[in-house]
């Protein structure tokens, strides 16, 4: 039994963190002194905005913040001092730093301590490392953490510590991908000495995983695309290739093996059934939390060139495994990774391989995922099975069909995208477009049919060409964020009923939206005639 497995067993046996020999004295002291952010975020705190909604100030006290950056503070000051709407400004003030303030559970810059100083960053856990939790759950999701940090990528060049934080996050994700490439959420790294938690389920998963490393093992294609995105984004913003260690290359190789395995159809060339390498079963009454057909999922045809995803970015199971938004994101990221390797002088055969994989995947989407809708014309399907069946809908989580231009897959004015956008933003085109007396937007099966997600309104704003539409989306999010932070979902008939007080990803998406408006349509938030703002 590893030390961490022992620690897990001890915590499960009801022994608190302090019972086990002071292994993590410092975090324990910090936790005692600072309030739990779930409860802190659930009640309003002064100073209030002074706007018509009088939104509260929800940043933790200075000494309780999990990371500081003066460059980030400067952006907050620059933006909020110019914003006309005091409530929107308060939301930005709380949301932009939320990931740094509350979710950096562990970071080492690689110069001291556990990740020892070493010229050779080729061993496990060497170099900078960062463990970034999703918010109210003490685990790191690959997708969430990439998106949580996306906000700060543009600032990394000007702030060495921020740069080290993101580099650390890439290194840590690489370790996770090497260890368990099929999994979506991970435990604190062993060198952090933070005890793992148990997700309370009894999942039967193949390939098997180590519960002291993995928090949950739902195979989501977009988790792997987000691993690539974290690095390509970092490279595009900083020009740094410090993450190109042999560990990162090993992670990339592991990822490609998963893509190959998950490109296999359900029946081989002779028509024989072949079990997929990945299966997942959970004892549950929720259909979206387990997979059909003994954990394999519904049959998928051969010859599409698409890659299966067992679960969606909502962590709900797919109905048809060829989940298009994640395939689109993966095709973009394979090509960006190829371009990055070429300009960084990496292996050219590897770059060629990634480039052709990305191009083939893009073609597979054009060939198998564009379908004709009687009202909206040619649209992208949400999921297909290669037999001609398709699911037409969208889910609020990103990657989504609505987000395709933000992911870099299509131009915003692409005709098929525009048709798709009209479809997924309408009640008759998308079963998960949810409306009520108080709120509306795209939701999804994850929370249910009466809850729409602010994140979908933010993506709608970021993919719109209309000042009026952007303003309506932003104001509706503002109106439904009465605790000064962006929630996961809102009851469409009661703006005060929400899920998740502390959901860092949604706050990052809000900040990204405001920064995009500040750069491209400054008059919408800074007033008529205002100059654009770029951090």
- Closest to ligand NAG by CB, 174 vs 442, is 442
Task: Give the shortest CB-9-to-ligand NAG separation in angstroms.
Answer: 30
- Closest to ligand NAG by CB, 37 vs 215, is 37
Between the alpha carbon of residue 298 and those of residues 28, 276, 317, 521, the distances in Å are: 46, 11, 11, 45
Task: Give the shortest CB-473-to-ligand NAG separation in angstroms.
Answer: 8
Count Cβ neighbours within 10 Å for each residue of 233-260 and write b for 16 or more, e otherwise.
bbbebbebbbbbbebbbbbbebbbebbe
- Closest to ligand NAG by CB, 68 vs 288, is 68
User: Which long-range contacts does 195-199 make (Cβ < 8 Å, 24+ apart)?
Assistant: 195/4, 195/7, 195/8, 195/11, 195/17, 195/20, 195/23, 195/24, 196/4, 196/7, 196/8, 196/11, 197/11, 197/137, 197/138, 197/139, 198/8, 198/11, 198/12, 199/139
Task: Give the shortest CB-7-to-ligand NAG separation in angstroms.
Answer: 24
User: Nearest-5° angle of CA 504, CA 424, CA 522?
Assistant: 55
Asked if residues 122 and 163 have their Cβ atoms less than 8 Å apart, the reply is no
List of residues 6+ apart from 32 with CB closer than 8 A: none
- Closest to ligand NAG by CB, 74 vs 281, is 74
Count Cβ neighbours within 10 Å for each residue of 422-438 and write b for 16 or more, e otherwise.
bbbbeeebbebbbeeeb
Task: Give the shortest CB-298-to-ligand NAG separation in angstroms.
Answer: 39
Task: Give the shortest CB-193-to-ligand NAG separation in angstroms.
Answer: 17
Contact residues toward ligand NAG (CB under 6 A) are 52, 62-63, 65-68, 472, 475-476, 479
Short-list 133, 111, 135, 136, CA closest to 121: 111
Question: Would you call the peptide bond into 399 cis, given omega within 30 degrees of 0 as the criterion?
Answer: yes
- Closest to ligand NAG by CB, 67 vs 219, is 67
- Give the length of the chain: 535
d(CA 416, CA 432): 20
Asked if residues 455 and 464 have their Cβ atoms less than 8 Å apart, the reply is no
Task: Give the shortest CB-467-to-ligand NAG separation in angstroms.
Answer: 14
- Closest to ligand NAG by CB, 65 vs 359, is 65
- Closest to ligand NAG by CB, 66 vs 171, is 66
- Closest to ligand NAG by CB, 20 vs 64, is 64
- Closest to ligand NAG by CB, 84 vs 370, is 84
Task: Give the shortest CB-427-to-ligand NAG separation in angstroms.
Answer: 18
Starting at the edge strand found earlier in the chain, the sheet holding 185-186 runs 140-141, 185-186, 214-216
Task: Give the shortest CB-114-to-ligand NAG separation in angstroms.
Answer: 17
Task: Give the shortest CB-53-to-ligand NAG separation in angstroms.
Answer: 6
Between the alpha carbon of residue 506 and those of residues 121, 144, 308, 371, 486, the distances in Å are: 33, 9, 26, 31, 6
Task: Give the shortest CB-492-to-ligand NAG separation in angstroms.
Answer: 12
d(CA 107, CA 170): 12
Short-list 92, 58, 51, CA closest to 73: 92
- Closest to ligand NAG by CB, 481 vs 512, is 481
- Closest to ligand NAG by CB, 101 vs 203, is 101
Task: Give the shortest CB-476-to-ligand NAG separation in angstroms.
Answer: 4
Task: Give the shortest CB-117-to-ligand NAG separation in angstroms.
Answer: 20
Tell me the sheet residues that pair with 384: 322, 390
Q: Please list the alpha-helical segments (H only) found in 262-323.
A: 292-295
Q: Which helix (H) or strand (E) holds 341?
A: helix 324-343
Task: Give the shortest CB-474-to-ligand NAG separation in angstroms.
Answer: 8
Return the structure tokens found at 294.
Answer: 């003994």
- Closest to ligand NAG by CB, 277 vs 475, is 475
Asked if residues 524 and 488 have their Cβ atoms less than 8 Å apart, the reply is no
- Closest to ligand NAG by CB, 65 vs 282, is 65
Short-list 470, 514, 474, CA closest to 83: 514
List of residues 6+ apart from 483 with CB closer than 8 A: 41, 42, 43, 44, 56, 58, 501
């Amino acid at each position: 039994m590893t030390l961490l497995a022992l620690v897990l067993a001890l915590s499960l046996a009801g022994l608190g963190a302090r019972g086990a020999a002071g292994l993590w004295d410092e975090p324990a002291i910090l936790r005692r002194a600072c309030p739990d952010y779930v409860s802190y975020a659930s009640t309003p705190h002064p100073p209030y905005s002074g706007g018509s909604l009088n939104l509260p100030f929800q940043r933790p006290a200075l000494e309780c913040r999990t990371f500081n950056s003066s460059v980030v503070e400067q952006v907050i000051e620059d933006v909020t001092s110019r914003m006309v709407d005091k409530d929107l400004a308060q939301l930005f003030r709380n949301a932009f730093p939320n990931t740094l303030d509350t979710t950096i559970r562990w970071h080492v810059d690689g110069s001291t301590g556990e990740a020892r100083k070493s010229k050779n960053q080729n061993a496990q856990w060497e170099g900078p490392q960062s463990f970034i939790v999703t918010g109210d759950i003490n685990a790191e999701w690959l997708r969430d953490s990439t998106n949580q940090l996306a906000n700060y990528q543009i600032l990394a060049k000007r702030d060495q510590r921020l740069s080290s934080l993101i580099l650390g996050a890439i290194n840590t994700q690489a370790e996770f991908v090497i260890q368990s490439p099929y999994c979506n959420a991970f435990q604190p790294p062993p060198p952090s000495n933070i005890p793992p938690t148990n997700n309370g389920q009894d999942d039967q998963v193949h390939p098997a995983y180590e519960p002291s490393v993995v928090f949950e093992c739902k195979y989501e294609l977009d988790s792997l695309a987000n691993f690539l995105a974290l690095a390509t984004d970092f490279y595009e913003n900083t020009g740094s290739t410090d993450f190109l260690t042999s560990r990162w290359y090993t992670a990339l190789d592991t990822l490609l093996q998963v893509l190959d395995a998950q490109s296999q159809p359900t029946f081989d060339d002779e028509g024989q059934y072949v079990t997929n390498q990945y299966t997942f079963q959970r004892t549950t009454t929720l259909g979206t939390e387990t997979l059909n057909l003994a954990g394999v999922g519904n049959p998928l045809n051969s010859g599409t060139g698409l890659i299966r995803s067992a679960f969606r970015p909502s962590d709900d199971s797919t109905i048809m495994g060829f989940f298009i938004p994640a395939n689109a994101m993966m095709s973009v990221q394979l090509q960006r990774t190829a371009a990055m390797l070429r300009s960084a002088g990496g292996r050219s055969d590897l770059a060629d391989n990634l480039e052709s994989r990305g191009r083939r995947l893009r073609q597979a989407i054009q060939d198998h995922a564009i379908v004709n809708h009687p009202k909206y014309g040619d649209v992208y399907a949400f999921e297909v099975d290669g037999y001609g069946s398709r699911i037409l809908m969208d889910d609020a989580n990103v990657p989504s069909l609505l987000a395709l231009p933000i992911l870099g897959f299509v131009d915003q004015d692409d005709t098929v995208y525009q048709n798709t956008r009209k479809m997924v933003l309408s009640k008759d085109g998308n079963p998960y477009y949810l409306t009520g007396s108080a709120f509306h937007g795209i939701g999804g099966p994850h929370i249910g049919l009466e809850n729409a997600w602010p994140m979908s309104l933010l993506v709608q704003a970021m993919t719109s060409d209309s000042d009026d539409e952007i303003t309506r989306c932003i104001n509706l999010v503002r109106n439904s964020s009465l605790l000064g932070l962006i929630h996961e979902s809102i009851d469409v008939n009661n703006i005060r009923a929400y899920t998740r007080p502390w959901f860092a990803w949604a706050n990052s998406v809000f900040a990204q939206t405001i920064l995009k408006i500040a750069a491209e349509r400054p008059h919408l938030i800074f007033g008529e005639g205002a100059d654009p703002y770029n951090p």
